[in-house]
């Protein structure tokens, strides 16, 4: 390299070609040009591919002519690469690993993710991959497909949910474990990410997982229908305020509605359901809200992240179904397979309070028009003081003389007079 720095003729030769034109002067300790045409061979000591970047430097010395420093060996088209292997790749002396990537992706169609990880490890150990870190990025989904299932079995937590960061680092740890058993490590592979054991420890901590094992429907924007059940004074309004304050603090949209004007006063920015959703006064099983796709209200409903609907049982079941049909009609992209167009909606109220009024209707008519009778009820996840589901049933004659039968039940009767009679009897 020193000779190349001052001799232009030397810069025309590679490292292996250099001894054919120059000879080492031991007394002056410099390279001088040969005066005789003596045949001479240059050679480089053998280096195993397992030595990584040193191996690629030795190969480049056969290709690069006239380097004056180590940076020149790593320079290709005026670009200085950080590693000799990258320069080797830039000179098209290495394959692009596309064949191996396609092979692993094809294998994933019929094999487990664990088998794909073993295949990836085998390719690393055999030094078949030019850029293992690039291959890892391309096939990450194939390698991480079963991580949640494996972790669930290891720590014994049912319904385990892991964040994407935890899955990423667990995948790396599984591969690293296999590499270590073969005497290799990610630390020996340039640019290869290392597993962060903080995420792994948190993922294997059952106490932490128990506290994280809740449904993040709103954050994942996967939608869902929920019902918060609780009698007066149990804190439903406090839950509403906490929910919409937390979501609005992120700059996201929450719609607060209620079935009555009095209940709306408790919700900041609340509106009645008929006002917000333009629900028709006269309803049937095929009705739609008066919202045209593309108008301002439709744009708002497309943007909304959460809908809170208080005093829900006071509404006819057709009201919920008309909003459901309308949202499915105007949400883009359409989510016909999800209730309410894939939006997250939370209903709430106390079934022991006032139900909807059916003119000239009997008890059976009221129950049939209630939210519980709607086809959407089976899509609903119910939570409350005891997370008990609310069930409706008609009182049979054989229970009328049994006071204990009525102690844990609420009465749905058409008039207050019948309520007074029922409570007096019990």
Mind listing the pLDDT tens digit for each residue in 375-398?
A: 888 888 877 555 444 454 555 556
Closest of 163, 172, 169 to residue 124, by C-alpha: 172
pLDDT for 388 equals: 46
- Residues 357 and 311 occupy one common structural domain: yes
Mean pLDDT of 269-293: 88
pLDDT for 38 equals: 64
Preceding peptide of 333 cis, ω within 30° = yes
Domain ends where: 212, 240, 259? 212
- Residue scoring higher pLDDT (62 or 328): 328
Beta 344-349 vs 304-310: how paired, if at all? parallel
pLDDT for 133 equals: 86
pLDDT for 140 equals: 93
- Residues 337 and 398 occupy one common structural domain: no
**Range with the largest mean pLDDT of 20-34, 241-255, 373-387:** 241-255
Closest of 49, 48, 173 to residue 121, by C-alpha: 173
- Residue scoring higher pLDDT (223 or 121): 121
Domain of 349, CATH number, reads 3.40.50.300
- Residue scoring higher pLDDT (221 or 362): 362
Global confidence as pTM: 0.45
- Residues 28 and 109 occupy one common structural domain: no
CA 76 – CA 292 distance, rounded (Å): 60
- Residue scoring higher pLDDT (299 or 140): 140
How many structural domains does the chain have? 4
pLDDT for 223 equals: 78
- Residues 247 and 364 occupy one common structural domain: yes
- Residues 252 and 294 occupy one common structural domain: yes
**Is a pLDDT exceeding 70 seen at residue 369?**
yes
Domain ends where: 55, 71, 90? 90
- Residues 153 and 294 occupy one common structural domain: no
Mean pLDDT of 133-147: 90
- Residue scoring higher pLDDT (375 or 37): 375
pLDDT for 142 equals: 92
- Residues 383 and 411 occupy one common structural domain: no
Mean pLDDT of 347-368: 77
Mean pLDDT of 97-116: 86
- Residues 385 and 262 occupy one common structural domain: yes
Mean pLDDT of 405-416: 61
- Owning domain of residue 169: 98-212
- Residues 165 and 223 occupy one common structural domain: no
- Residues 44 and 105 occupy one common structural domain: no
- Residues 221 and 349 occupy one common structural domain: yes
- Residues 221 and 272 occupy one common structural domain: yes
pLDDT for 389 equals: 46
Q: What percent of the chain has pLDDT over 90?
A: 5
pLDDT for 139 equals: 92
Domain ends where: 173, 188, 212? 212
């Amino acid at each position: 390299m020193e000779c190349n720095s001052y001799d232009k003729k030397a810069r025309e030769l590679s490292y292996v070609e250099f001894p054919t034109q120059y000879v080492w002067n031991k007394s002056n300790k410099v390279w001088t040009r040969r005066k005789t045409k003596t045949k001479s061979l240059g050679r480089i000591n053998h280096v195993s591919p397992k030595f990584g970047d040193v191996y690629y430097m030795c190969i480049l010395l056969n290709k690069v002519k006239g380097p004056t420093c180590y940076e020149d060996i790593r320079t290709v088209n005026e670009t200085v690469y950080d590693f000799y292997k990258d320069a080797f790749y830039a000179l098209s002396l290495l394959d692009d690993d596309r064949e191996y990537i396609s092979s692993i992706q094809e294998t994933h169609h019929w094999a487990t993710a664990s088998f794909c990880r073993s295949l990836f490890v085998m390719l690393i150990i055999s030094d078949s991959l030019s850029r293992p870190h690039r291959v890892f990025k391309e096939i990450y989904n194939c390698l991480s497909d079963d991580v949640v299932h494996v972790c669930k079995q290891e720590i014994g937590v049912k319904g385990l949910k892991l964040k994407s960061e935890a899955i990423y680092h667990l995948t790396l740890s599984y591969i690293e474990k296999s590499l270590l058993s073969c005497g290799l490590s990610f630390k020996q592979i340039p640019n290869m990410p290392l597993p962060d054991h903080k995420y792994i420890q948190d993922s294997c901590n059952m106490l932490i997982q128990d506290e994280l094992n809740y449904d993040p429907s709103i954050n994942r924007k996967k939608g869902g229908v929920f019902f918060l059940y609780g009698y007066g004074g149990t804190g439903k309004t406090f839950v509403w305020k906490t929910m919409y304050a937390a979501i609005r603090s992120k700059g996201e949209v929450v719609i607060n509605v209620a079935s009555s004007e009095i209940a709306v006063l408790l919700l900041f920015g609340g509106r009645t359901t008929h006002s917000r959703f333009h629900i028709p006064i006269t309803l049937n099983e095929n009705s739609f809200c008066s919202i045209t796709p593309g108008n301002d209200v439709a744009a708002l409903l497309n943007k909304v992240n959460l809908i809170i609907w208080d005093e829900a049982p006071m509404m006819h079941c057709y009201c919920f179904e008309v909003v459901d049909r309308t949202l499915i009609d105007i949400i883009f992209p359409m989510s016909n397979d999800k209730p309410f167009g894939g939006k997250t909606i939370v209903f709430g109220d106390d079934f022991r309070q006032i139900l909807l009024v059916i003119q000239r209707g009997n008890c059976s008519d009221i129950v049939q028009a209630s939210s519980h009778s709607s086809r959407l009820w089976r899509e609903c996840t119910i939570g409350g003081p005891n997370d008990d589901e609310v069930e409706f049933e008609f009182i049979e004659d054989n229970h009328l003389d049994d006071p204990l039968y009525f102690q844990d039940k609420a009465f749905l009767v058409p008039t207050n007079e019948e309520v007074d009679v029922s409570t007096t009897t019990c």
